[in-house]
Structures are given as structure tokens and as C-alpha cells.
Amino acid sequence: MAGTPLFPSSVSFRPRLMSPITRLLLFLQLITLIFTSNCRDYDPMLLREKTLFFSNKSAFKIALFADLHYGENAWTDWGPAQDVNSDRVMSTVLDQETPDFVVYLGDVITANNLPIPNASLYWDRAISPTKSRGIPWATVFGNHDDAQFEWPSEWFSATGIPEVQCPQENISISGEECTFRGTTRVELMKKEISSNRLSYSMNGPRELWPGVSNYVLQLSSSKDPDSPGVFLYFLDSGGGSYPEVISSAQAKWFQKQSQAINPDARIHEIIFWHIPSTAYKKIAPLPIFGIHKPCVGSINKERVASQEHEWGIMDILVHRPSVKAVFVGHNHGLDWCCPYKNLWLCFARHTGYGGYGDWPRGARIIQMTEQPFTLKSWIRMEDGSEHSEVILSSESTCSC
């Protein structure tokens, strides 16, 4: 009913299990889109075009906005109010931290709760606090960003909202239910990068599709724009329209790409994706015991919901000394960082008011200095407070 959330914020939105036939039809739809899309192909030369720079006067700072979940229950008073709250959280963080760059770490929207054919309208709303301040950003996809719309049963009841007539171009009808096609990853990315000069997002190599947000950005030295200081890698961890995995093909792409642009592993590398790998389960603090050193954080309220399988990416990362940290979202009730072999595995902080959980919102901040290189992180909360600072990597100035 109007004014009452059909899906309370304490409920996790998960795509419904689909039959094999439905999965096949979705896959064929996606393949058709891939080969008919006129999206910009991934071009390694874009690495040069989309370069970020260290400042010679200050550190380089990144704000991570995770699990915003815009667009939930748009037909009620509750849903739009959540989006207003999410606007406020991001505005607070941006104004207090004044970051050089923003990473949208997946689940920007809740497409399975979003009954419009063009989800990019809500995507635009989510990036507007960053865009309006002239701050560049990049995005990776989460498991809800292109999920199919799940029609509320109340819409078909005599006392609820009148039944919606399904537009044939966007919706297929099966029995008494309508299944919304949604807006695909390819379409969302195409709209973002074609309409925003401040967007550093990329489609990624076509051979890795349906995983779209696979790309690398260069953070260059303040002294020489051609000299890389840090490489930022973005990987699509799936979910929504396909399984929650980083595939072996993506792992091989990372290995090939990193060897090509950083062959001696001399340049530091930082990794971003949405759904935690299975390695996060191995080091996760037990919820009943809180968070203790060497882990650093403030909430540990649930178990790690990891990717479905591990197809090699973590084995590559732990054997690459240049990789300093991996940052993920997905679990709203976790915000810890823990060491794993020679790198750190970190959760962001649930930023948006959409999605499950009633924990206070905030954002993880990452700060890097160039000479000497340091990488540290902390959480900035919606009330302006700061906590959980941790040094993830630090190097003394070379005297040789």
C-alpha cells in the first residue's frame, strides 16, 4: 500500500532463483545485446586519456560509496525518502573530506525493486552529489544493478495498487505475472560514460562481457604525468544477470594487463570490486567476538556473503607484491580491514539508506601519499565523526 514499504529496509534484496530456461533466455538476450551494441570498446590507450594525478602539495584521497541502493519502492513515500537520506550522507562525506576521486563500489541502484525501463535515471541521481561538486568518479557493478524487477504481489490484489499494464517492448508476460527486462550493465555504462566527462568508468574488454566494469586507471606522479605512481584496478564481480563470480578469464586479463603495464611489479596496485572473494571468509573475525587486531573496524554484524566460486584472482593477487589492498562492499553489516598474506582485504561502509540493515551510514576513505608512498584508510560517518583509521602500506624514503 502507498506509504508502507513492501520490502522493509531490514530485508536483503536478493534476485529470485530462476529456472534453467529463464537463465538461457536471459543469456541469449545478453549475447544479442553485446553484438548489436554500439558501445565504445575497451581501448588500452584510454589508460593514458583517463589519467589521475598526485598533487605535489597534498595526498590523493578517494571516497568509497558502497551499496547506495537507489530507486527502492519508488511508488511509496518510504522509497524516495531513503534516496534523500542517501543524498545527505554522500554530501556530508564529500564536504568534510573533499576527496580527489570517488569510487561507486556497486549496488548503486536496486534494479529488482525499480519499476521503470530506464534505471539510468536513478543512476544519474546517485552520482549527482559527486558530479555537482566537480569531482571525478568511477563505478563498478554489484549484484543488484541490473537485476530483474520483482513485481510486488500487492500490485495484483483487489485492494492494492491497480494492475500495471506491461509495455510489450520492455516486458514479457508469463501467466499472470510480468517480468521486467530491466536495464543491462552495458546500457547503464554506456549512458554514464557518454553523458559525463567526469566519469572515468569504462566498458572493459568485450571478451570479458557479461562482466562489464573491468578496467584500470593510472594515478600519475605529480612530477611526471607519464610516470605512474599507482594503478587502480576495477573488476566486475557479477551477480544480478549472471553468477556472482570473478571468472578465470577476468583473472587472466588482470594478470596479462598488470604484466604489460607494470612488468616488474614496481608500481603499487589497488583493487576494487563489489562482492567479497572467498578469501574474506578465511580471515573474517567471528561476529560474536567483535573486531580485534590486526583487523581494524567498528561493525562485524554478519557473516561474509562471498562470491559463488574462486577462479584464480586471489591466487594471482597474493603472489604479486605490488598489490596492497582489495576493497569491496556487498555486506552492509561489515566495515573491517584484515591482513591476508601480503595484502589487506577491506570492506567499505554501507553508504546508502536503501538495502537491508539499520546501522549508521558512512563511507570508507582511502588516502595515498606519493613520496614516500603511504596508503591509509578510515571511515567517515554520516554524523561527521571519524573512526577505524588503519595504515595499509607505508614506505620510508629511499636513501640510496
Q: Per mean pLDDT, which range of 47-56, 129-138, 385-394 is the poorest?
A: 47-56
Q: Is residue 36 part of a domain?
A: no
Residue 399: its pLDDT value, please?
A: 34
Q: Is residue 22 part of a domain?
A: no
Q: Is residue 259 part of a domain?
A: yes
Q: Is residue 109 part of a domain?
A: yes
CATH number at residue 132: 3.60.21.10
Residue 55: its pLDDT value, please?
A: 86
Tell me the pLDDT of the chain averaged across its residues. Answer: 85
Q: Is residue 13 part of a domain?
A: no
- Is 284's pLDDT higher than 60? yes
The three grid cell numbers given for residue 278, joined into one nine-digit string: 572467498
* pLDDT band for position 48 (cuts 50, 70, 90): low
CA 260 to CA 359: how far, in whole Å? 42
Residue 203: its pLDDT value, please?
A: 92
Contact present, 234 and 137 (Cβ < 8 Å): no
Strand partners, 346: 327, 337
- Is 84's pLDDT higher than 50? yes
Helix, strand or coil, per DSSP, at residue 206? helix
CA 211 to CA 248: how far, in whole Å? 12
Q: Between 294 and 289, name the one with better pLDDT.
A: 294
- Is 35's pLDDT higher than 80? no
CA 336 to CA 221: how far, in whole Å? 30
How many structural domains compose the chain? 1
Q: Per mean pLDDT, which range of 32-41, 323-332, 345-354 is the poorest?
A: 32-41
The boundaries of the domain holding residue 108 are 52-150+175-391
- Is 162's pLDDT higher than 90? no
- Whole-model pTM: value is 0.85
CA 142 to CA 328: how far, in whole Å? 10
User: In terms of Cα–Cα distance, which of 144, 145, 184 is closest to 12?
Assistant: 144
- Is 160's pLDDT higher than 80? no
Residue 181: its pLDDT value, please?
A: 66
* pLDDT band for position 158 (cuts 50, 70, 90): low
Q: Is residue 156 part of a domain?
A: no
